[in-house]
Each structure stands twice: as C-alpha cells, then as structure tokens.
Structure 1
Amino acid sequence: MKRLYLKIIEEHFASNSTQALFLSGPRQVGKTTIAKEFLKECLYTKYLNWDNLDHRQLILQGPAAIMQGLPFGAILKEKPLICFDEIHKYKEWKSFLKGFIDTYREEVKILVTGSARLHVFNKGGESLMGRYFLYRVHPLSLREIITPNLRDTLIGQPVESRKADFNKLLTFGGFPDPFIRGEQPYYRKWQRLRHQQFFQGDIRELSNIHELSLLEVLAALIRHQAGQLSNLTSLARKVRVSDQTIRRWISVFESMYFCFTLRPWSNNITRSLLKEPKIYLWDWSQVEDLGQRNENFIAAHLLKAIHFWNDSGMGDFELYFLKTKDQQEVDFLITKQGKPWVMLEVKSSSEEPLSPHLLFFQKQLHVPHVFQVAMDLPYVEKDCFSLEKPTIVPAKTFLSQLV
C-alpha cells in the first residue's frame, strides 16, 4: 500500500534541499517500510538500523566509517542517501546526528526515522536549527486509503471510499498490518505483541520508568475514558502515585505516540473550563465503547491533518475542545493562525438533532465552518466546507476532504 509520506520524501529530496528529513511516529505505523520503499528509488544508499547489531557497531565507529563505500565527492546523477532507522535508541543520538549532518549534509541525503523522541529537537538541547524538517507519520486515514497523493490545498474535494474500507478502518485501526489483514484473530495477536513490545521494550529502554505494572494500569484507564475529561488527581489516586508522577507518565506516553492530549479553548468564552484536558489514543481501535471510539476516530483524523498542515508549512494549526462550567460543550475546535476556523461535534447517529451548543459557540467565536459529523450517514458528493451554516454532514464525506 502506497503511503502519502513516500511522496513527501520524494518531493523533499527532489528539491535539492540540504536539510535532513526526520520521520517520527508510533511503533509499527510504517516508517521503516516507507523509508525502504524510497531506498529502492535511489542509486546509492546505505541503511542503518540501530536494532541491528552490525549496523549499531558501524554507527558507533563514527561518521567516517559510515561514509566508507559511498561514492560521495564525485560527480553523480544524484547524491547518495543514508537512512538511520530507530536511531533515537542510541543514548548519544542527538550529538551524533548533529555532527553527522554538519559534516556531510552537502554530500549526502539524510533520512532519519524513530518511534519516539525525534520531536525533542524542537525543545532545545542539541540544536539542529535549520538542519532538518520533521514529519509526523500517522496511521492510515480515510483520505490516505482513497488516494495517497499530495495536494497544495488545505482541504480537498470529497472522494468516495469503499464502505468496507471505512468500517474496517474504524474496527481494526489505521496501523497498516492489521488494517490490510482485516481479520480479528490476527488483529488480537498483533495488539498483544505490540503491547508487549511497547511496555517491555520501548518504555523500559527509553524512559527509565520501572513501575511497568502501574504504567499498564494507567494505560488501561486512559483507554477506558478516551475522550472524556481527565482529572489527573483522580487518575493518580487510582494508580496510587502522585499527581506529578501521573503528569510525567502521560508525557512519556505522548512522546511515544500512545496518546495525545487536548486542552480546552478559553479565549472569548464566558465561563470556560481552563484546566482538565481530554486524552485520546493514536490507535482508536483500542477504545471499546463505540461512541467513544467514533469520537477518537475523528480526533485522530483531525490531528493527522493538523500535523500534516503544520509540518508542510501550510500554516499554524491547533486542536482544542470547547466546554463551559455550565456544561455547554463541543467536541473539537481547529484554530488557524490562532483564530477559530473549524468546529465540529461527533455523533454516532444522523437522527440526533443539530447540537444547540454548536450554535451557542458559533455566536461567541464566529467560526467559519461548523459541522455535526454523523458516523452513519452515507457518502454524499458535496464539499462540506462550502456550506455556510452549521450542518449535519457524513463522516465519510468530511474525512475524505482531509489528509
């Protein structure tokens, strides 16, 4: 299955950019497969995976050893490509990459993948300012299943998907292996193995957290209350650790793409909630309650679109929810350049009337695009973003216009 991220890599290096390209995202989301697909298109390549002992030894020998065997310095049709896979597991990975990029960025194309931590370059430490571009790789979305082609516009025209693909995506999630197989026995085995690798491998290796059994309790609680307001003090009490520990553990989960947190939008909102966040999973298929899964499904699609728009330089977008102290609530608000742009409520059934809360918040925020997304409505070939008033729209249409 072709991924849109392959197109991103192709366009990045076709531009003769000297910046390295970083692909960061959850375990088994397809980063290595995408990287290897691009390697097949290149004339001169070297692939180094930190999990491979021989590759690890070569990395530890340093940049000069890595470059041996590559025809750099000659007149070539294209620059050689070096791919570092899972390099974040190397304790000194930040200083290693900085030195390598500074030394060889003019001679080779550099592709880096990792299932955690690559985003920390945005937060200080070893500075790679101007040396790389980061793209966050998400699970498959409805639009990507329909077509992996890139476009220059934020919103695309609606495109119909196969009904079976929509249902399979909702049931098995967007991670490529279980989605492509589409079989419950395989899905359950895959989930069990991924759970073990995440807690016994990634968490143990990268976080220095030793209370793995308590972390698993926290993960189960997050799955159970996905999309609900999360009282961190209550979570801490249930797991029997401090509030500070819960915050740190959730931050670790976020850095390893287990979950993501939304905050309430409070600007220009009377009696807005200011503190309690909502937490969603990157893998919505783990959410058992169907209503919560539907909401998480939409949340993950919105986050993917926002990350893609931001990473592509299309603007500055953020995702929030809306809630007041007197229980007026809307599931999602997308801001564009700091201003409300898209507001939507998720409903399982199209028989539910348009939420009055959408109208309430639209009057306060003057949001241009307001939708109630119904999961059960059939696809309609209508541009949702051309609508001029709050409208109930099919999820199959709305999502096909995103990324």
Structure 2
Amino acid sequence: MFNINYRLFQQKAQMNSYLFLCLTCLNPPAKIRLYLILAGGGFIVNYIKRDLEDKILSLSKEYSCLLITGPRQVGKTTVLRRLMTPERNYVTLDDLEERRMAKNDPALFLQVHDIPIFIDEVQYAPELFSYIKIAIDNGAAPGSFWLTGSQAFKMMELAQESLAGRVAILHMPGLSQHEIYGSGQNMPFTVDLTALKMRKSIGAPVNMDGIYERIWKGSLPGYVSGKFTDRNVFYSSYVQTYIDRDVSELVALVDKLQFQDFIRAAACRVGQMLNIHDIAQDVGVSDDTARRWLQVLEKSDIIFYLRPYSNNLLKRTIKTPKMYFFDTGLVSYLTRYTSPEILQNGAINGAILENYVVSEIIKTYHNAAQDCLLWYYRDKSSNEIDMVIENNGQLHPLEIKRSVNPGSELVGAFSVLDKGSVPRGKGALICMRPELSAINADNYTVPVWMI
C-alpha cells in the first residue's frame, strides 16, 4: 500500500516545482519523510488538477502580467502557488501590513518585493495597477506579475483602465465536473457530432442519482476535495466570510442577517426569470435595495444571468434575464436540502438541474479561456428555449430535461429561431439519457454527464 501511495506522490509532485526539486535532490529516507509529512497534511488527497493550468503557464510566457479573477475559495491561490517557481515572490494583501504599504506607497511596495511576484487579493490595493503599468512599459519580462482578485467586475475595470493591452485576464470558476470526475483535455461544449463523440472519452458516466449528488456537493474545492467534511459548517462559514468581507466592502452598513436572507430568497429562484419585486417582498426591503444587492451578488460572482436572445427580426421576445448561481452546492445549502436524494425529489429539482447544466457549459469555456455566447429564448407567445449558443455563425438551441427518454415534442420550439437573421444549426436535448443519441438528423440527445 505504501509503495502505491508513494508512486502516486511522485506523480503528483512532478506538477509542483518545489516538490519535484525535493524528489530529485533528497536521498530515499528524506523523500519518505517528506512524503509522510505531506500525506499527513492532505497534499495527496486534497488537490484536483485544474483545466486552466496549461493556459496559465502558456500566457505567462507571452504577457508580463496575468490576472486571475473568480469567486472566493475556487482555488485561485492554490493553483498559482503550485505552478510558481522558487524565484517568484508571494505576497498576500490579506496581510494588513502589506496592504497598507501597497495602498499608501505602491512604488515602495514594488521596490521591496522583487519580480517575478505573485500578489494575492490585489483588489485591496488598486493603487498598484498604475505602477505595474510603469514596470511593464519599462520592459518587465513575461510572467513578471501574477495577480488574483475575488471581485471580478472590479478587477476587470481596474485592469482595463490601467493595464489595457498589457494583461492577460482569466476567469477561474469553481471546479467543473470534468475536473472532478473526468479525464483528458477540457473541450468547450459545442453541438457538433464529432465533438460530442469525443466528449464521451473525457466524461464519467453516471445515472440520475449520481448527477444530483454532483449538484448537491457543488464545485468549491474545499468541500469537494475532502479537505473539509462538515458540509453545513463549510457553507455556513463560506456565506459568513463572503458577507463579512466582500459585501461589507461593497455595501455600507448592511444588515448581515437580512442580507443572508436575501441570498436565500435569490437561491429559491434559480433558473427563473428575474423578479426583483418578489425577492424584495420575501426579505422586506425595497425594490431599489434588492436591485443593488443583486448587483453585489453578480459583482462578486455568486450569481450570473442569462440574457434573452433577440435580434431585429424577433420583435416579440421577453426582455427579462434569468438568474443562476455559479455553485449549485451553495444553492442546495441555502434552500436547506440536506441530501442529494431529497434534492432530487424537491420542488427545485428541475430548476437546479438547469442551473447545473448552464454553469457547467460556461465553465468549459472559461477553462479554455474562451468567451461563451449563451442566451435563453422566450417570446410573448410562450415559445421558450432553455439555452441558445451562438457558435461559428449559427444558433444552437438547447433544452434541459430530467427525463431519461425525452420526446421529440420538446424540440418543437427550436424552429422559432428560423425567423431570425442568424441561421439555426444543430440542436440538443440535454437529459438523463445514459448515452449519446439523436431525436432526428438535426437534434441530438446529450447526457448531462458528457458536458
């Protein structure tokens, strides 16, 4: 058993420069001691390789500055610390002394800390961006600056203002089902038969029970990896930390208990068209307050929206967006579903499945550093399509169902896209069917596990 684990340790250590150096330089007894220390600390069982790793390394050879954005606790710091080489300095602005120097004297901060440098939680000192720009303009080498930030909108705004054309920006979502359960290289989801067949080799087949277990567990590495085992404590701490740090910074004098109720009210409406008034009434705040708080949730990557698809030839479309959460485990916790089995039979089982599919499709694009043109469709005649992907100049309609054997009538609304100015391509029913199949020549049935 020890030999098997030690070989696994060797394989994993090759992905980390520090450990690889130790393995090549230490004698066998010392290697064994290092193995035991790291195994006891959870190194072997807790890390899940991320699809963005290769992209991070390749872009660091081209850009002087790399910015990783994403929600809290999705693994930004963990990934970059594993990828960094010994000569790179690491500074976190969670350290109040470092933060004070970065804000009050950014020039001194960059003199004290040599490049290449990894600055964690850089959103706390936006004053650094102008000085990083100066360093890049003065010839900073590729890979000189690695930055992370938990407020994606704020980070994008700062980077575009100060570092336009000088920074590569990547968004790191929570773990995808490909990262947790699959194998091989990540591929952005497309409704192309050849690509769909290839997805069979990188996914992990599972039935409906297994899908809802994945939905219930969510995508945050701390819980999925087994580092933390008490789910209620984990998500409770996550929500409290988020409110104490991000929300308190973005909203002055917020009532923390009321804001937590607000997040729960939003979670009960995943996959639905946004109704700000209903959410506001549930919590007892004004519509304007609810609107501002939703903006906070969006800015901090807790929620996202699917906008309705429309063009100049489709004039009767609904204008209201649909709301989703990035992490379905957080939704399950907030809506008080205590097990995957109860969730599977609960009132939101269809909506949270739709949330899961939409977020997983978006992750396949984020993890390939590509944009995803994704909408939903609904018009005043009640024609509705769960998702519409625009790819290679065509619109691909997608419908999401819990059924194992969905009927052909479920793709009937797809033809409404024929009235638009962009041609309709192949469509798909994403469902619980165990294998890839087809309804007809123009529409496939795709298992949820293949996303």
TM-score scaled to structure 1, two decimals? 0.82
Residue matched to 1:392 = 445
Q: Deviation at 1:94?
A: 4.3
What is the CA deviation profile of residues 94-125 of structure 1, one whole-angstrom value per residue up to 9, with x for unaligned ones?
44544554456337621110111455534897
CA distance in 2, matches of 1:194, 1:331: 30
Q: Using the TM superposition, give the Cα deviation of residue 240 of structure 1 relative to its aligned residue in structure 2, in angstroms.
A: 4.0
Q: Measured at CA, do residues 180 and 336 of structure 1 come closer, stay the same or move farther in structure 2, by a change above 3 Å?
A: same
Letter in 1 for 2:215: L
Q: Match for residue 352 of structure 2?
A: 293
1:304-315 correspondence runs (5 A): 304-308=363-367, 311-312=369-370
- Contiguous gaps of at least 5 residues in structure 2: 1-47, 336-347
What residue identity is the alignment partner of 1:346?
I
State which structure, 1 or 2, has the greater radius of gyration over its C-alpha atoms. 2
Matched, 1:55 2:98: yes
Matched residue SS, 1:126: helix
Q: Deviations over 1:260-279 (max 9, x none)?
A: 011211223352112x2111
Alignment map for 1:1-400 (pairs within 5 Å): 1-13=48-60, 16-39=61-84, 42-57=85-100, 59-60=102-103, 61-68=105-112, 70=114, 80-90=115-125, 92-95=127-130, 97-103=132-138, 105-106=140-141, 109-117=144-152, 120-122=155-157, 126-145=161-180, 146-147=182-183, 149=185, 157-158=198-199, 159=201, 160-161=203-204, 163=206, 166=211, 168-181=213-226, 186-208=230-252, 210-267=254-311, 268-269=313-314, 271-274=316-319, 276-285=320-329, 286-287=331-332, 288=335, 289-308=348-367, 311-312=369-370, 317-336=372-391, 339-354=393-408, 355-365=410-420, 366-374=423-431, 376-380=432-436, 388-397=441-450, 399=451
CA deviation profile, 1:179-214 (whole Å, cap 9, x unmatched): 12298x622211010011011222112443523333
8 Å CA contact 1:359, 1:390 repeated in 2: no
Indicate the SS of the match to 2:381.
coil
> Partners of 2:227 and 2:146 in 1: how far apart?
31
Identity %: 23
Letter in 2 for 1:361: V
Q: Secondary structure at the match of 1:171?
A: helix
Q: Which runs of 5+ in 1 are unaligned?
A: 71-79
1:334-356 per-position Cα deviation (integer Å, ceiling 9, x unaligned): 1237x543211111112332314
Q: Which residue of 2 aligns with 1:73?
A: none
The whole-number CA distance in structure 1 between the counterparts of 2:395 and 2:356 is: 20
C-alpha separation in 1, matches of 2:206 and 2:160: 47
Deviation by residue 1:153-183 (Cα, 9 ceiling, x = unmatched): 9757212315397554222011112112298
- The 1:110–1:51 alpha-carbon spacing in structure 2 relative to 1, beyond 3 Å, is same
Q: 1:260 to 1:93 in 2, by over 3 A?
A: farther
Q: Is the 8 A contact 2:102 2:127 kept in 1?
A: no
Q: Number of aligned residue pairs: give it.
A: 374
Question: Would the alpha carbon gap of residues 150 and 63 (structure 1) be closer, same or farther in structure 2, given more than 3 Å must change?
Answer: farther
Deviates more, 1:112-121 or 1:164-173: 164-173
Q: Secondary structure at the match of 1:135?
A: strand
- Residue type at the aligned position of 1:322: Y
Q: Distance in 2 between matches of 1:151 and 1:199?
A: 34
* 2:250–2:296 Cα contact (<8 Å) kept: no
Distance 2:233 2:384 in 1: 38
**Structure 2 Cα separation of the partners of residues 301 and 248 of structure 1:** 27
Change (3 A) 1:358 1:179: farther
- 1:89 is displaced (CA, Å) by 2.0
**53 and 182 in structure 1: CA distance in 2 versus 1, 3 angstrom threshold:** closer
Deviations 1:346-394 (A, max 9, x none): 11112332314443334435421211111x22244x7x8xx84123221
Contact 2:305–2:321 under 8 Å retained in 1: yes
Amino acid of the structure 2 residue aligned with 1:3? R
How far, CA to CA, are the matches of 2:64 and 2:265 in structure 1? 41
Give the aligned residue type for 1:55: E
Show CA shifts across 1:312-355 (max 9, x none): 4xxx5422111111211111111237x54321111111233231
1:300 deviation in Å? 0.4
Separation (CA, whole Å) in 1 of partners of 2:411 and 2:435: 24
- Cα deviation, 1:215-273, whole Å, max 9, x if unaligned, reads 22321111001011112233334444443333222121111011001121122335211
CA RMSD of aligned residues (A): 3.1
